[in-house]
Structure 1
């Protein structure tokens, strides 16, 4: 484990696996362990770097949090790693990757269903407040169940208990309840610009079984990023990179080797 100091003095931890060009994996609303199924598939080819989000894992924390603070954390890791860095973010990590790419020179930016809310859904979004109400009532597990139902399933799942029983992060993810509520505040406060000015090549990934609001969001991002590459995976859900690495990672590798913009369906 290595650490770097972010702009406000907070210690940000990161793991490093393998050798080669640097590929930084940014986890979303779970723990760095989300990437465990992915790292072995990439470490023979790349120097795979897995930061621990502020307040999660081995990283330090602060009383206040914002999207800008999260970007500063990623920038600190990118600077420490050095070289031609590619960012690969999932969910909230995808939003962090995109926002970091607006401000930081990168070799490439990859986002799987970034946590970007658009349209009527964004105007009505109150997941953070609903989670906080459960937290204030001492119902942290209920808060996380609500989060999983909304973010992983778009609010629609036949048997959440059965699904959770097969979901590797459950129930350990309950320990991150407060942290996840606060990143949802940051997500709900974010407004996608009409144009995302990103100099680096951008690859946007989604699955046909992902939550509708995030599938709407990634298409809006695709419209906002000139010449971004868009790939959709049939039958894959929001957990795509970790749940279907055999489907997702070849597209990642192809993009890193040749980031020229194309449209693709898989």
Structure 2
């Protein structure tokens, strides 16, 4: 079974593209940083057995419009609400930065069920995002390998710890030379603004006490950086009535790359309870 492409205008007129599959209760899927809707096709098709699934190409990627000069988390929320209104979907799943967006959707408007996998939330400054100005400068100057290497090293997303910068540069060069490399290069300019929002929204997490939707926070026990799972557990403790589940053997890219079927099972089970 394939997926059909549609688009809708967001509140500021930006065109938002999304892929849909399945029938049943509507579920919106929000991709992470530097990811497209198509990266979640396996997850969406697994979910489509029980849901009508709609996977966004968030702003700045694919056929969707640009982030725009007024970019911020509120624009992303506007986009999601436009898709929800167009499709009738009332359930949301978000991965990584898409998980941060999903949380803020639920702050704006309660949803029937909310599931996030390792959302891009920074609590108590645990993410050191002081590298952002250098990252943004390098991307604006047309560089791609060095800023991505800087991002991976400073975010602690590879298992090389304090290895010299040239190690990260070499690995990044290989990644960007691969079959996904061209698209990753095209999406990289969206990363600076998204990291900027993660930094701006860093807090003690108390804002998330206002979420009134049934919520499941998922994490993998092999994710990096190592504090990610404990931060997810802390977040679940802040959201009223939220549940936390640590899944053995999974890393940060389980929903899009490594174990979409496993994640889909957890999402389906959570949505069935609402």
**Corresponding residue of 2:70:** 64
> Which segment is superposed worse, 239-248 or 21-30?
239-248
- Taking a change above 3 Å as real, the CA distance of residues 177 and 4 of structure 1, as seen in their structure-2 partners, is same
**Corresponding residue of 1:204:** 217
**Corresponding residue of 2:18:** 14
In the alignment, is the contact (CA less than 8 A) between 2:29 and 2:94 conserved in 1? yes
In the alignment, is the contact (CA less than 8 A) between 1:203 and 1:255 conserved in 2? yes
TM-score (norm 2): 0.84
In the alignment, is the contact (CA less than 8 A) between 1:207 and 1:234 conserved in 2? yes
SS in 2 for 1:200: coil
C-alpha separation between the residues in 2 aligned to 1:36 and 1:209?
Answer: 23
SS in 1 for 2:255: helix
The Cα shift of 1:155 comes to: 6.8
C-alpha separation between the residues in 2 aligned to 1:236 and 1:153?
Answer: 14
- 1:74-114 deviations in Å (ceiling 9; x for gaps): 1111111115x210000000000011011113111110000
Matched, 1:138 2:142: yes
C-alpha separation between the residues in 2 aligned to 1:130 and 1:216?
Answer: 29
TM-score (norm 1): 0.87
C-alpha separation between the residues in 1 aligned to 2:69 and 2:142?
Answer: 20
Please, which of 206, 211, 217 is the counterpart of residue 194 of structure 1? 206
- Taking a change above 3 Å as real, the CA distance of residues 256 and 166 of structure 1, as seen in their structure-2 partners, is farther
The Cα shift of 1:169 comes to: 4.0
In the alignment, is the contact (CA less than 8 A) between 1:91 and 1:115 conserved in 2? yes
Please, which of 43, 46, 69 is the counterpart of residue 48 of structure 2? 43
C-alpha separation between the residues in 1 aligned to 2:45 and 2:14?
Answer: 29
C-alpha separation between the residues in 2 aligned to 1:120 and 1:88?
Answer: 25
Matched, 1:105 2:116: no
Report how many residues are paired. Answer: 257
In the alignment, is the contact (CA less than 8 A) between 1:117 and 1:214 conserved in 2? no
What does residue range 246-265 of structure 1 map to in structure 2 within 5 Å? 246-259=261-274
SS in 1 for 2:65: coil
In the alignment, is the contact (CA less than 8 A) between 2:97 and 2:120 conserved in 1? yes
SS in 2 for 1:143: helix
The Cα shift of 1:117 comes to: 0.9
* Runs of 5+ consecutive residues of structure 2 not aligned to the other structure: none
C-alpha separation between the residues in 2 aligned to 1:96 and 1:167?
Answer: 29
**Corresponding residue of 1:231:** 245
In the alignment, is the contact (CA less than 8 A) between 1:114 and 1:217 conserved in 2? no
SS in 1 for 2:8: strand
**Corresponding residue of 1:76:** 82
In the alignment, is the contact (CA less than 8 A) between 1:26 and 1:93 conserved in 2? yes
In the alignment, is the contact (CA less than 8 A) between 1:117 and 1:188 conserved in 2? yes
**Corresponding residue of 1:264:** none
In the alignment, is the contact (CA less than 8 A) between 1:114 and 1:214 conserved in 2? no
- Taking a change above 3 Å as real, the CA distance of residues 252 and 3 of structure 1, as seen in their structure-2 partners, is same
In the alignment, is the contact (CA less than 8 A) between 2:176 and 2:184 conserved in 1? no
